[in-house]
Structure 1
């Protein structure tokens, strides 16, 4: 099959789940093209981007200025140049009466540029995130691209995005798209509430390659500290603040505790300030961004994985965090939040514990319990590994996705 992927910034170090899906489809001998926004940083990329030569099959939309005047001036140049190649597509992309804000904001114009030299036909046009499903539907409608339209919904696109775009934002997409793939049953129900026909929906998890993650029996060696780790971007929905507040309650724990936060992001300064305010600098370490191999090495030395996810002030939620899948595949007991699709991955009191949002007291209580009952770690780790292998194995999920495409 020939498959087009419409994605956001690519490659993105925070969206390895999309990269994994693409590379495993290539492994099945299918041909792919990627249409994306150019990332701000191309110096730090996943090794698979080079291994699979993905930049060679990626076409980028022209960067779109945030300032509307500059965007309009650049749009004028794009129109003048584009009319020399395919004036029909150019003027269709500017049809405000049909495409509304997408045309008025010039988003559709900027998106059509990679399709001007040829109007490609694919077996499937797979859009990641709902707003790109809208874009894919409109690109197909104006004749820029052909193929069955498949849209994966993650979480942001049916939470925070809709607070700005409105609950009817996907009405046309639901009507015209062939298949919709929420990453959890939780989000399937939300799509149905929004008006998506149930017969067009197939729950399709994002997954990991379990073979890349070695299972290790977690045990305390001698008088070493209990190592707790969070792997997350430093953004609100990751709930790192509540992890730190919980760790602060473990100062007088019978066993010494170390807490490592692997990741970076816009909240780094405020998190550093919180560490100082709570006087937990000796317990908490901000490790910063690390490559996947480095993360695996850190998790090899970890006893417990903490993922205290929360709903952001604008409604944004997690999907099912890949960091949780990877940790469970490596045999780590996990402590996370009972919300979104996480309960579809973590079995409470079996592979870990699921707690209310924004509750550092509850987090601290369960961490203390796990520290005092380390004899449960191995069995919890076995349960987690088995569940990830059965339900979130990228090899099985790739076969399922190909069946969906067909």
Structure 2
């Protein structure tokens, strides 16, 4: 199969789930092209090693840079139009229809995004990796700039805060004309159904991890009795890290033998630094910044408990079962997380860890104190977590399912109803 992945930027360190799908499809003999509609990230110095191993940048298409000056932007657009006449660039002029697409087309952003599509527009599958890309993929297909079956995956922000911002009808046309939809958890599938998606056209397909890269290690209380706790995630409101910091502070006076390492970076870094200083816990709480995957694995290998305190952000943004939580569970860490979004589909409360209400530092502190006081349950919880991740989120199983979804969509004998009769769908719904 020939597959186009539509993404906003590529490569992005925090989107390993997209890399896992791309490399999985390549390993299975399929041709994958990556269309990064907003171009490369600002900093390409830090990329996942797999980018070079699979030479993925050679498969990636970026739009030409748009000049800031509007006159220069127009002149460059004209040049691009003339230089690509033999490739059908006149089709791009459809994207300037202000009556159909609104004032936004005047920025020429859509026109510039369309230019790389002229190199090769015919695909079996067009896979929009976020719901927000679905309408864009639909426009490209309507204007014959892309050809193929259109699949859209809903992952989190696209089916939570984006809908809150744009309104409940934002995906109305996409639901009518898109060929099929995936949601990375049941929670977001239900959200899509509530917005009008046909239940026969959407299944749950989780984000997978490579379990072989996250070796299971039973957790025991170390000889120095120092308990190391970890969190991995962007320093943004949705991750709820402020509440785990405050939970640590509640235990700090009685628990001198704890250490809390927060892996990640983001706009709230300074805010967290101030909280840590105000609570006088800088001796046990460390903001260690972004780390490469192997560095994260090393930190987690030396940890005993993992916290993922996700919350619903003020703009409505919510999480699916996050990959960092899956990775920690695969490595045998007992976890503390929240009754939030799709997380209860991953963490079984009282079995592989504990779930607490959102924004409840007291509840986090209580469960953390319990785990520290009962190290004899760490191994059992860790094994349960590993089994859960292997059962539901193994990358190889999920990539096999993705190929099956594509193949059934391309099979003219298959109807959307047949998807829901397949074992892969039943396993996830």
Partner residue in 1 for 2:202: 201
Gaps of 5+ in 1: none
CA-atom RMSD, angstroms? Answer: 1.5
How many Å apart are 1:370 and its aligned residue?
0.5
Three-state SS of the structure 2 residue aligned to 1:247 is helix
| Contact 1:226 1:255 survives alignment (8 Å) | no
Q: For 2:155 and 2:10, locate their aligned partners in 1 and report how far apart those are by CA, in whole Å.
A: 16
**Which contiguous aligned blocks of 4+ residues in structure 1 show a shift greater than 4 angstroms?**
none
TM-score between both structures, scaled by the size of structure 1: 0.96
Partner residue in 2 for 1:227: 228
Q: Does the alignment pair 1:352 with 2:346?
A: no
TM-score between both structures, scaled by the size of structure 2: 0.91
Q: For 1:224 and 1:292, locate their aligned partners in 2 and report how far apart those are by CA, in whole Å.
A: 27
List per-residue Cα deviations over 1:107-152 (Å, max 9, x = no partner): 3212201123x34211101111111111111111101110100111
Partner residue in 2 for 1:183: 184
Q: For 1:263 and 1:311, locate their aligned partners in 2 and report how far apart those are by CA, in whole Å.
A: 19
Q: For 2:353 and 2:78, locate their aligned partners in 1 and report how far apart those are by CA, in whole Å.
A: 55
Q: For 2:404 and 2:286, locate their aligned partners in 1 and report how far apart those are by CA, in whole Å.
A: 45
Partner residue in 2 for 1:338: 339
Pairing of 1:81-230 with structure 2 (within 5 A)? 81-85=80-84, 86-100=88-102, 103-116=105-118, 118-230=119-231
Partner residue in 1 for 2:319: 318
| Contact 2:129 2:154 survives alignment (8 Å) | yes
Partner residue in 1 for 2:247: 246
Q: For 2:82 and 2:348, locate their aligned partners in 1 and report how far apart those are by CA, in whole Å.
A: 57
Q: Does the alignment pair 1:267 with 2:294?
A: no
List per-residue Cα deviations over 1:153-208 (Å, max 9, x = no partner): 10100112123322211111111111110100000010011111111101100010
| Contact 1:262 1:286 survives alignment (8 Å) | yes
Q: For 1:48 and 1:109, locate their aligned partners in 2 and report how far apart those are by CA, in whole Å.
A: 31
Q: 1:72 to 1:157 in 2, by over 3 A?
A: farther
How many Å apart are 1:63 and its aligned residue?
4.1
Q: Does the alignment pair 1:74 with 2:76?
A: no
Number of residues paired by the alignment?
402
Three-state SS of the structure 2 residue aligned to 1:207 is coil
| Contact 1:227 1:301 survives alignment (8 Å) | yes
Gaps of 5+ in 2: 408-429
Q: For 2:233 and 2:71, locate their aligned partners in 1 and report how far apart those are by CA, in whole Å.
A: 37
| Contact 1:160 1:314 survives alignment (8 Å) | yes
